[in-house]
Amino acid sequence: MSKIGFIGLGVMGQPMAANLIAAGHTLFLRTRRTVPEALVKAGGIACASGKEVAEKSDIVILMAPDTPDVEDILFGKAGVSEGLAKGKIVVDMSSISPIATKEFAQKIKALGADYLDAPVSGGEVGAKAASLTIMVGGSEEAFATVKPIFEKLGKNITLVGGNGDGQTTKVANQIIVALNIEAVAEALVFASKAGADPARVRQALMGGFAASRILEVHGERMVKRTFDPGFRIELHQKDLNLALQGAKALGVSLPNTASAQQLFSACVAHGGKAWDHSAMVRALEIMADHEVGKKSA
């Protein structure tokens, strides 16, 4: 069993850490607030700093909200970089900038350690069920070392390429997810305002070519009005910002990604930054003056 550091114990990180403890690994834990008591009772060991986590661990996993958070965890005062030694591996499972990821990897490798960027898809449900999709960038050697740990967290685990390629894949994933949410939301708003039962429309579509995981899970959220996250709109906005910034640098046009971002912004303007990203439908409902499932006047 491995000695694993885990920093970032939020909605995703806590169940991921719990799965690793349940698998028999020794976990050294650190988070912004207090380490959850449930993880300590299960055998996790709370640490006072990222440096301490790195000193006690062979592999250090990060699960933070954004690029500046990862940078601070790695290189801030008493950060992970201060506790690294040759042969250790840093695994960033956050969703952050591919460009910054390449810079972070270079700095960590200069200290004699290795680096994998391994963002995930699957949300809180996937984190709890250990069924996450894991997109990895880094060396084949480091990937081979960490893969048995990944297998306790997810099902679809792919080494995409070098450092930064995992994050690039996650950005592409978030583009697809956002545009699928938008498509499902448009369809259900249209069907509902036309007088059809959106629950039955969704059920019918699940048997055809329009079927998707988004229609299955988030379509149900839209119909049942269950917008507690899940995956917060503000976090999906962060990911689409990475997509649009990258597109600008590459000279690529992403018109529908930009439109999806505007719909998220409309939700935020109505107090929805912490809504689940399926609540994008609310922006369309405002424009249609109609809520999915309500009878049209």
The rounded Cα 25 to chain-centroid distance in angstroms is 23
Whole-angstrom distance, CA of residue 121 vs CA of residue 94: 10
The identity of residue 294, as a single letter, is K
CA triple 92-93-96, angle to 5 deg? 80
Helix residue ranges per DSSP H, the chain: 13-22, 37-41, 50-56, 67-75, 98-110, 123-129, 140-150, 165-193, 198-205, 213-224, 233-250, 255-269, 281-288
Element of type H or E holding 157: strand 154-161
Report which of 152, 116, 157 is spatially closest to residue 135, judged by C-alpha positions. 157
Spatial CB neighbours of 203, under 8 Å, sequence gap ≥ 6: none
Report which of 152, 119, 148, 117 is spatially closest to residue 133, judged by C-alpha positions. 119
Residue 75, number of CB atoms within 10 A of its CB: 15
Whole-angstrom distance, CA of residue 26 vs CA of residue 57: 9
Which tokens in the block code for residue 257? 């990604």
Select which of 109, 170, 193, 224 is catalytic. 170
Within a 13 Å sphere around the CA of 255, how many CA atoms are in the beta-carbon half?
A: 0
224 catalytic residue (yes or no): no
CB 157 within 8 A of CB 257: no
Which tokens in the block code for residue 53? 């986590």
Residues acting as catalytic residues: 170
